[in-house]
Structures are given as C-alpha cells and as structure tokens.
A and B are shown apart, each in its own frame.
Chain A
Amino acid sequence: MIFLSELLRATVVDVRQHTVGTVRDLVARMGEPYPRVTALVVSHRGRDALIVPWGAVRQYTEREVSLREPESELALHRPAEEELYLSRDVLDKQLIDTDGRRVVRVNDLQLANVGGKLLVVGVDIGGRGLLRRLGMEEMGKRVARALHRDWAQKFIAWDTVETLRGDGRSMRLRMSYKKLARLHPADIADIVEQMSNVDRQAVFASLDDETAADTLEETDETIQAQILERLSLERAADILEAMAPDEAADLLADLPAERRAQLIGEMQAEEAGDVQELLAYEEDTAGGFMTPDYVAIPQRLTAAQAIERIRELEPEAESIYYIFVIDGQERLRGVLSLRDLIVASPETPVSQFMIRKVFSVPLDESPSEVASLLAKYNLLAVPVVDEQDRIQGIVTVDDVLAEVLPAPLRRRMRTGA
C-alpha cells in the first residue's frame, strides 16, 4: 500500500544507480474494477520528461524507484488517448462517489501491488490526505494522539467512483458513466447538481433518453434549463418526449421563446401537442401544473372491457390509481379506483359501480385550493375540468405539494436530510 503523493516525491535511479530524475506523474489505464498503472513520468532538470513503462520498475519505496535497466536502454511508453495521468487528471480533481451520492475532491490516491500490478484501489478524501500532501501527516498524528483522538483515514473504494473529465476530453472519449447510470434518477440529479456545467453536459450526453428524462425531472429548475440549452436540438427533444408532459411544459416555459419553439417543432407530434396545451395555461393555476397523463374510459364499458382498455393504454404508473369515466361528450361522469375495477364482476357496466360525485377543480384554481382539497379528502389526484365539465388533466398530490410547502421544509426534502 502506497500513496500517490509519496511516489510523486520519489527519486528514480536506473540499474547502475544513476539518478534518472524524479517521479512527476503516473500513467494509468482505466479498467474494471481498478485502473492499472502503466507508466511513470520522470522528469529531470533541463530535459523533456521521460515516460517509463511500469514494467521497467524493479522496486519502489516512498523515496526511491529503481529501474531494471540502464537509462540508455529504456523503451519509452507512449500513452494512449484513454490513459489517465493520475496527478494531472485525477489528483485534486472532483470525482463522483456513487456510494455516498456526492461529488468529492481527491486529496490522495491509494495504490496497491496486486500480483505484480500496481492498481489504484482507493481515494483519500479526508483531512489526513490533505496534511500528507503538505508533508504534515506525522504532525497531525501527534496532535491527535495528544488529544486522545482517533484520527481515521477517510477513503472511498475506487470501484464505487466515477471520474469526471470536465476538460472536453470526456465528450470525445464518450465516457459511459456506467456506475452513475445505475443509480436512481433522483440520486443522479443530486450528484449532477454538485457538478460543473461541463461535467453535467458530459454526464447527460452519456445517459439514455429515459434516464436522462427522469434525472432532468428531479433536477433543480435553473440547472434544467442550462442543461437543455446546451444539448443538441434533436437530443433535447428526445429527452423532452420521455419526460412527463407537465414537467416538460414547466421546463420549456423557462426557456427563451425561440428555443422553445424549435424544441417543440423537433418533438413528436403527440408529445408536442400535450406540451403545447399545458403551456397555454397560467403557471400558478391548476391548468399550469396538471398532467395530461390520466386514464379516462367511456361509461358504456363493462368492468372487463375497462380492464382490457387500460391494458391497451399502458398508462404511466402514477396515473393508474384513479380511472375517470366520461360520457359521449367527454364530460366527467364518475371515477373508479383500480381496486373497484378489479373486485367488480367482469360483466357489470362501470356506470353501475363508479363513484358519481367526483371532486374536480377548474383550470384556473389556485395551487393552495387544490392542495387543501387533496388533503381534506385524502386524494392522490384530482381531475381538472373546463367550463363544459370536460376533463383536461389531473393534478397529482406531489405536484401540488411543492407549491404549498413552507420553504425550510421544502429545502430539507430536496436535500434528503
């Protein structure tokens, strides 16, 4: 076990004990689960740096790295594009800790010799790493002992981290961010919010449309707009299509009119239509934050036919709990729960067991009114209707909650504390 910072100070000598120079950097090839050190960058006053393959290293300590061959016979290593320079590209940079769901800064790297290979196994993110870099770790230890404190190292294992390459190279290399993409979108969003714009862009470029859409929905709205504005038109439209229409509409409403029109033009006709309808409503009304994802069935269907119809519609999960019943003029006639539908005998017409008196709100209802209605009657969603009592969308409890919660509580929920 050795730290990168310790190797970086080491002197390099060849097999004849001639000093070649000092270790300036290590080159590593990314690999699963741990990157393998492939070469070391050795510099010597007044000369270009030599990149010596790790295979030429006979042994190493914190002070000295000795080579197997004389300096004149060294075969130099030529790093490939995807190889990383540990000091230049990783040390002091930010990494994603996918286990802790946060962005951390690398204070030091822990290296281990496994079967003759030098691997990067851990990332030091603690104060000890910082003091080690300053050459003051011993002093810190003594202070800790004097205070009778245990001074723990703070490491995270390399197999749970994801490197960020906010220098444009990540875009060219098409990094996959596999570990990150496996997280829940809400967690990805938390992490993305802590990143620089360049890194965000790289991450979003790598996510598939569905995950990107889910993540974008969870992201802070100022950042949402930034991300969307920098993606290509085509890709941004794909992500918007995969988003819930109400979220997509909210997001589009924050963009400049020109960009908004371009994006809607680029979207599939159906999704674009949904979004445009929603955009027409004032933001602070039921119409403004309702979603058109709801299930409505004609009142002439039987229970069995209704279930068949729902199967065909494949509704979004959040809208399936209430099934609205409409007449020939699309007017709201009743409501069913999924449970009602399943326990009813298959041949019964839905009009016989639906709840006829439905709570609904007009398009211009205020968020707080909708919230108190949902709270009072313990509803998960309420339909929004126009003047002719035709259903236009539903407002779900989560949408309205954000509008009415007091600020400190909202902040706590957002940070997951």
Chain B
Amino acid sequence: MNLRHESGGLAPEKPATGAPSQAEGRSRRGLTPAVRWPRPSGPRLPPILPRRLRPRRLPRLWRFFAILGPGLIAANAGNDAGGIATYSQVGAQTGYGLLWVLVLIIVALIVVQEMSARLGVATGKGLMALIREEFGVRWALVAAGVVLVANGGTTIAEFAGVAAALQLFGLPPELSAPLTGGLLGWLVLRSGYVRVERMFLALGAVFAAYVVTAFVVHPNWGAVAHDTFVPSISSSNGFVFLLIAFIGTSVTPYMQLYLQSAVADKGTADADYGYVRTEVIASSLLADFVAACIVITCAATLHAHGVTNVTSAGQAAKALSPLVGNGAKYLFAVGLLGASLLAAGVLPLSTAFVVTEAFGTERGVSTAPHEAPLFYAVFVGLLTAGGICVLIPGINFIAVLLVTQVVDGILLPVVLVFMLRLSSNVRLMGRHVNGRLAKIVGGTTAAVLIFLTLILIFDSLFAG
C-alpha cells in the first residue's frame, strides 16, 4: 500500500552489516604477483592470482540482441542501401511486372541460405576457410578475389547510401564521405562498434514503413496477384541489367559468407539444426516480404505517376509520402542512413577476416597493423575505396547502388558453385550433405545468373 516507502527501499544505501571497517588496513604489497609462466612448458607453479581476466558480461539487453538469430541479420542485410535502391527502381521501372521474379528469388534465397547454415553447422568453418582446405591455394585466391570485388562493391554501395541519406539532410558528400570512413574505421578498431551497431540496426527498421505504405496506397491487388504468378518479360533497354541487380541484391554473396561464419561461430549443435533452419527460412520469407512491399509501394506511387526511372534518393523517398507526407524525405534518409552504416561497418571488417582466414595470416582488431598487414590492408582498403568512389564528381548515387548490385549478381554464381561443391561432399557434410532440391535450385540459380550475365555482356557489346 505504501508505495513510496517501498520504492524508497531501492535507493542505494548500504546495509549496516559488513560496512568496511575503517581501521587496520594491512598492506599486502609483498604478495603482489608478477608471475611469468615458464615457457614453453614446465612444472606448473601454484598460482597466486591464477585466473586470467574474465570477459565482462554483456548487459542484459545486448545479450538479447546477441542471440538474435544470424539468419535474421543475414537476410535483412539484403535490405541495405543497394536493396532499397534496387527494389525502388524495380517498382518504378516495371510496376508490378517483376513480382513473379521475387517468387523465384524467395525459393533461391531460402535454399541458398539454408545451404550456408548447413555448411556452417556440419563443418564448423567459414566458407573461405573451406574453399582453401578443399580446393587449395589457387582456388582460394580466386574466391578471395571474388569476395574482395563483391564486398568492395557492396561497401561502395553502402557509402553511396550514407552520402545520399546525408545529402537529404543537406550535408554534401565531400564532407560526409571522409567523415563516414574515418568514423567507422575508428569505431571498429576501437571496438566501440558493437554499441552503435544496435542503433544502426534500429534505424534501419524504419523501412518497415514501406510495409504500412504498401497497404495505405491501396494498390490494385488484382494486378499484384496476377503479376506475382504470371511471368512477363520485357525486351526493353536495361531489363536484364535490372533483373541481375534484383537477384544480386536479394541473394548477395556477403549474406552467405556472413551466415555460414555466424552459424559456425555460434557452434550450433547438430541436434539444434532444426531451429536454425526454421529461423533461416522464416527470416528469408520476412526479408522478401519487405522487398515485395517496397516494390509494390514504388509501383503504386512512382510508377503510377509516370516516374519510371529513379535518379535520386529524394525521388525514391517520395514513395513514402502517402504515409508521412512531407516527412517522407527525412524518414527515408534516416532508414537509409541506418541500413547503410550498419553494413558499411560490418563489411570491411568481415571481408578482412574471411580473406586472412583463407591465407592463415594474423588477424583481428587486437593485433597491431605491422603484425597483420593483410588484415589491415583489406580493412582500410575497402573503407578508402568506399569513401573515394563517392567523391567522384558528378557521380549518381542511385546508379552506383544499382551497378554494385549487378556486380554482386554476376559474382554470385562463383560463390554458389563453391558452396554446391562443398555441400555435396559427403566426407565433409556427413548426414548434412545436399539433397536433390538444394542441388537443383542452387544449380539453377547459378545457371540463370550466368545466362543473364552473358546476355548482358552480349547486349552491351553488340547492341550498345
């Protein structure tokens, strides 16, 4: 009843017992240890202060985030700056016309992500490490090259996303690009990154606004349903380009690398694989649902009003105006900023990790740059590349975002073929070896992308 009294009990006051006595502080300086262990081996001395420092426990809230499934994070990485731009462009350019592709993408994404998780569970290793171990140095070099280009491109895309978002707030890229690169480098190397990571994650969540908008704008659901299940293709200029970008941004190589490493690091027990698979499938469905909402929203707003080519972030943002009116610009900018910063921080670091993992050189942010030259070269190189590309005078950020997604799409088959070969190896996978479905869907996805790439090359060479 007396609530005030009870809450008063929470005040930090020390109980009377055991309050430290003021007298008799006996110095024990003589016992302060400076124990050096005999190396390399020898009799074990009785330790005075035997235990190494334990890592500090994460506060509860962070621990909750830490158990957020890797599948969810990986799948949502598809909805980064490149994803938003591509889906907006798909909606604007083709209306509902490419929704049927999304159905196929969902199938491909689920199968490919499931394969990544399975590789992680069965082998406990990352994809690059497996490629090195199973295919040797040459193929590891090829894979590292592919990963560097794909992730480098994606990093550039994230920087373009940051610059585009900050431009909506009036900050010119000349300022925002070096600032972003410097800030992210500093945060990651000083290991303060994990604190802000959650903030970026939360900022990116404003893209849920698209889900609401997709219903607010009352799209023609009949047309949506028709185009989702009846394929249509167009011979118009840039159709193949858009198609590759669409697939490349939804099933990015980076997502596979991340998911496999994350599952391997978590050390999921064989018995728990069922949970991981459920999570991976649900997350893929969620990510593609959001993608579908973006496409539908942009189709019903931009495309319906004759905007068939998104050329600026401001234009893409207008798709949200039915929901928030003039605030659309800022809502869009905040979401784009969060999604881009999240990926821009993670990509260079994880790329540096997977590349050094394959070549067995020193790595990690607790090493000094001269001890781990390759690690730091990749990390700083990617950040610099991102910053510099954004600074090219007159560059169109939306174009950068689309082109980098196409690069991802073109390189994805290489990663897929490695994954298929590895996950079909009984010696490695045991009972987790590929079934027929995984082989067919994975193989088809790779084949389709290779086919589209050939058309694109042919197109640009001869049709120009």
Contacts and interface: CB of A to CB of B under 8 A. Distances in A.
Chain A bound to chain B: yes
A396 B133 CA distance: 45
A49 to B, nearest CB: 16
A168 B430 CA distance: 10
A362 B37 CA distance: 35
B47 interface: yes
A93 B18 CA distance: 56
B56 A410 contact: yes
B360 A398 contact: no
B56 A403 contact: yes
A327 interface: no
Nearest to A8: B136
Interface stretch (B38-46, B290-298, B340-348): B38-46
Interface string A370-386: 00010011111000111
Contacts of B31: 321, 380
B28 A410 contact: no
Contact of B53 (A91, A105, A362, A398): A398
Contacts of A184: 37, 41, 44
A414 B52 contact: yes
Nearest to A166: B124
Interface string A134-165: 10000000000000000000000000100000
Contacts of B430: 168
Given A107-B137, A360-B18, A196 B269 contact: no
A410 B41 contact: no
Interface centre among B26, B123, B137, B266 (most CB of A within 10 A): B137
A221 B21 contact: no
A94 B130 CA distance: 11
Main secondary structure of the interface of A (DSSP, over half): mixed
Interface stretch (A11-19, A31-39, A299-307, A351-359): A351-359
Interface string A172-206: 00000000001110110100000011111000000
Given A166-B124, A183-B41, A411 B191 contact: yes
B359 A130 contact: yes
A342 to B, nearest CB: 14
Interface string B358-394: 0110001010100000000000000000000000000
B29 A378 contact: yes
A98 interface: yes
Contacts of B436: none
Given A93-B133, A133-B137, A197-B124, A373 B20 contact: yes
Nearest to A356: B24
A105 B132 contact: yes
Contacts, number: 167
Main secondary structure of the interface of B (DSSP, over half): loop
Given A196-B124, A197-B267, A317-B47, A377 B25 contact: yes
B217 interface: no
B245 interface: no
Nearest to A283: B57
Interface in A199-245: 199-200, 217-218, 220-221, 223, 226, 229-230, 244
Contacts of B61: none
Contacts of B57: 221, 283-284
A229 B270 CA distance: 11
Contact of A220 (B20, B55, B359): B55
B305 interface: no
A339 to B, nearest CB: 9
A364 B18 CA distance: 11
Given A221-B57, A360-B20, A403-B56, A134 B137 contact: yes
B198 to A, nearest CB: 16
B4 interface: no
B5 interface: no
Contacts of A396: 49
A397 B428 contact: no
Contact of A167 (B20, B46, B428): B428
Interface centre among B15, B49, B50 (most CB of A within 10 A): B50
A167 B26 CA distance: 56
B352 interface: no
Contact of A318 (B14, B47, B360, B428): B47
25 contacts: A92-B140, A133-B136, A133-B137, A134-B138, A196-B123, A217-B51, A230-B267, A318-B47, A355-B26, A357-B23, A357-B24, A362-B15, A362-B19, A377-B26, A378-B29, A396-B49, A398-B49, A398-B51, A402-B54, A405-B53, A407-B56, A410-B55, A410-B56, A411-B191, A414-B366
Given A358-B21, A414-B55, 19 more contacts: A92-B140, A168-B430, A186-B52, A189-B52, A196-B123, A196-B125, A197-B267, A198-B123, A226-B266, A355-B26, A356-B24, A376-B25, A385-B18, A387-B17, A397-B49, A402-B53, A402-B54, A403-B56, A415-B366
Closest 3 CB pairs of A and B: A105-B360, A377-B25, A226-B267
Interface of A: 91-94, 98-99, 104-107, 125, 130, 133-134, 160, 166-168, 182-184, 186-187, 189, 196-200, 217-218, 220-221, 223, 226, 229-230, 244, 247, 250, 283-284, 317-318, 321, 337, 355-362, 364-365, 373, 376-380, 384-389, 396-399, 401-403, 405, 407-408, 410-415, 417
